[in-house]
Amino acid sequence: MAFEKKWKDNLKLNETEKKKLVKDGLKIYDDIPYYAKNGFESIPKDQWDLFKWAGCYLQKPKEAGYFMMRVNVPSGILTHEQLITLAEIARDYGRDVYDITTRQAIQFHWLTIDQIPDIFTRLEKVGLSSAGACGDITRNIVGNPLAGIDPNELFDTTPIVKEVYEFFQFNEEFSNLPRKYKMSISTNKNNASNAEINCISFIPAIKEINGKETSGFHLKVGGGLSSAPHLAQELDVFLLPHQVKEVAIAVTTIFRDYGYREKRHHSRLKFLVADWGVEKFKEVLEGYTGKLLTKGTGFEQSWNAGYFYGVQPQKQEGLNYVGLSIPVGRLHSKEVFELARIVKKYGNGEIRNCNSQNLILPNIPAENIDELLKEPILEKFTPIPPKFIGYSVACTGNEYCNLALVETKARMKETASYLDEKITLDVPVRIHMVGCPNSCGQRAIADIGLQGIKARNEKKELVEAFEIYVGGTLANGGKLNEKLKGKVESPALHLVLEKFLQHFKENKLPSEAFLDYVARVGIEELQTYLTSILETVKAS
């Protein structure tokens, strides 16, 4: 179906937008068979970026011809057959790397163009797709990984997520958006989908309608991280479950037709919402949907940051889920196959990805729990992790990513493991490490955010280093963390954090969370202590 590209005559369009006027990103699917047959050299450089619409990025260095592929997993829910297929792809084509992302998707690395058609075939056979996992298009829909089994959900969102996801898949009416477009749909009372950092989020709410308490959604728009993070703002609307698809289409249409297309760094929906304000945005939205109900009462009570550790009861009597720690989200195919064996033996074969880069084994009968917990692989991927490695997140880093300035996965894992050896705390501290300002590892919402940079050392050499941010959360509408002055060279990071967190341990109140500690003592005191640590480390 055709739609009018209202922006086509704008003389200030950026270069990417000009290319998209000539060729829609999804058209890359028509070209991939030819490129696969004729090799990487047959792909013109000006077509490289279009692979994003097929969920593929060229790894670093691009000229080497290796692709990263991201596979959509709506709400993070995988069937046994899908899990096996993904593990086989990692084994057969991805040099055995299987990464869980902070948006519940799966990433592969080291793919070559000749392998991609077979990977597409394998994915399609089990109902999976990488289409739209990257690019200026609707990305993977984040949701409640416990949808359908969650004692803390208002109702099951699985069918809604499926309906909305399938509508946007390969839909060329919405494949030319100004920038990436991220959506979340959840009714978990603990904000499991990180609503405030998505472009559009449907969050649980209740409203009395005609004397009857009715379950539905409130709507937040305009969230997003990267170098200019914004927290999503709530509109004064209440939506019934059957209205979600209609409203999702309307908001996406607004972004497509009114979103900014002149400067790439200023093209996310968050900038349009910030300029318009929520009242105007609601007015324009109702121009598409008709009058909507006003807000009811929010159902969300807290924020769990996507962590579901341990053995927990499901809403189905006699069934439990088991939340496992997967350090920085990285697995290898043998480990995935082993987890697939376990969930088939003790559960119903499903597995679920969390946006904390961890996994949930669902639908385990109570009588199977003891045997499940004895499985050797749960010694490595434990349901009761230590306080640092269990609450650490890392983006892909410069191992594969062209944008990242530093290595992250190994660094974060080593740093967290070191901290667990040196410091024992009564509360977890969430540490997120990112390799660049794009913040795929969601640095801005962490207790402690570590952002990789390049810095000059005393010898004026350019080295890997980190900036430290503190005090991020999505509780109570959210608060972005604040930057502390000073740069930490990578080799000293674990020592600086050890001293910084030891100071926290010695000065915190009993059971006081790091976020509450930051609010109590203030940024200035933390800055003073960090500065003294950096001077000590520098002197040594």
* 177-222 tens-digit pLDDT: 999 999 999 999 999 999 999 999 999 999 999 999 999 999 999 9
Q: What is the pLDDT of residue 501?
A: 98
Tell me the CATH class for 310-380.
alpha beta
28: enclosing H helix or E strand: helix 28-38
According to DSSP, residue 3 is labeled: -
Q: What is the pLDDT of residue 459?
A: 87
pLDDT band for position 72 (cuts 50, 70, 90): very high
The predicted-structure confidence for 275-302, as pLDDT tens digits, reads as follows 999 999 999 999 999 999 999 999 999 9
* Equal CATH topology for 15-298 and 389-539: yes
Taking the C-alpha atoms of residue 192 and residue 197, their distance in angstroms, rounded to an integer, is: 12
User: Can you tell me the mean pLDDT for 164-182?
Assistant: 98
Identify the CATH homologous superfamily for domain 15-298: Sulfite Reductase Hemoprotein, domain 1 (3.30.413.10)
Strand order, beta sheet including 482-489: 392-394, 431-434, 448-456, 462-470, 482-489
418 contacts 386 by C-beta, under 8 angstroms: no
Does residue 320 carry a pLDDT above 80? yes
Token pair, residue 265, equals 């760094």
The predicted-structure confidence for 37-50, as pLDDT tens digits, reads as follows 999 999 999 999 99
User: Can you tell me the mean pLDDT for 245-253?
Assistant: 98
The question of whether 264 is a catalytic residue gets the answer: no
Identify the residue whose tokens are 């080291």: 110
The chain-wide mean pLDDT, for the chain, equals 97
Q: Measured between alpha carbons, how far is residue 424 from residues 170, 203, 416, 419, 450 in Å?
A: 49, 36, 12, 8, 21
User: Can you tell me the mean pLDDT for 492-513?
Assistant: 97
The question of whether 180 is a catalytic residue gets the answer: yes
Beta strand 98-100 with 106-111: parallel, antiparallel or unpaired? antiparallel
Q: What is the pLDDT of residue 118?
A: 98
Give the pTM.
0.97
Q: Choose, from 139, 179, 330, 508, the residue flagged as catalytic.
A: 179
pLDDT band for position 120 (cuts 50, 70, 90): very high
Q: What is the pLDDT of residue 458?
A: 85
Does residue 538 carry a pLDDT above 90? no
The predicted-structure confidence for 418-467, as pLDDT tens digits, reads as follows 999 999 999 999 999 999 999 999 999 999 999 999 998 888 899 999 99
**Domain ranges, ordered by start, for the chain:** 15-298, 310-380, 389-539
Q: Choose, from 20, 180, 268, 508, the residue flagged as catalytic.
A: 180
pLDDT band for position 539 (cuts 50, 70, 90): low
Identify the residue whose tokens are 């590209």: 5
Please tell me whether residue 257 adopts helix, strand or coil conformation: helix
Token pair, residue 402, equals 């062209």
86 contacts 143 by C-beta, under 8 angstroms: no
pLDDT band for position 540 (cuts 50, 70, 90): low
Does residue 1 carry a pLDDT above 80? no
Say yes or no: domain 389-539 is CATH 3.30.413.10.
yes
pLDDT band for position 330 (cuts 50, 70, 90): very high
Q: Choose, from 55, 135, 296, 435, the residue flagged as catalytic.
A: 435
The predicted-structure confidence for 464-499, as pLDDT tens digits, reads as follows 999 999 999 999 999 999 999 999 999 999 999 999
The neighbouring-strand residues paired with 171 are none
The question of whether 505 is a catalytic residue gets the answer: no
The question of whether 440 is a catalytic residue gets the answer: yes
Give every CB contact of residue 465 below 8 A, 6+ residues apart in sequence.
Answer: 406, 452, 453, 454, 455, 487, 488, 489, 490
Percent of the chain topping pLDDT 70: 99
The question of whether 224 is a catalytic residue gets the answer: no
Please tell me whether residue 15 adopts helix, strand or coil conformation: helix
User: Can you tell me the mean pLDDT for 298-312?
Assistant: 97
Q: What is the pLDDT of residue 242?
A: 98
394 contacts 329 by C-beta, under 8 angstroms: yes
Residue type, 322: V
109 contacts 65 by C-beta, under 8 angstroms: no
Does residue 11 carry a pLDDT above 60? yes
Q: Choose, from 55, 441, 472, 478, the residue flagged as catalytic.
A: 441
Q: Choose, from 56, 199, 354, 440, the residue flagged as catalytic.
A: 440
Does residue 2 carry a pLDDT above 80? no
Q: Specify the range with the lowest mean pLDDT, choosing from 141-150, 451-460, 500-509.
A: 451-460
The question of whether 441 is a catalytic residue gets the answer: yes
Taking the C-alpha atoms of residue 201 and residue 143, their distance in angstroms, rounded to an integer, is: 10
Longest Cα separation, the chain:
73
Report the sign of the C-alpha dihedral through residues 393, 394, 395, 400, in that order.
negative
232: enclosing H helix or E strand: none
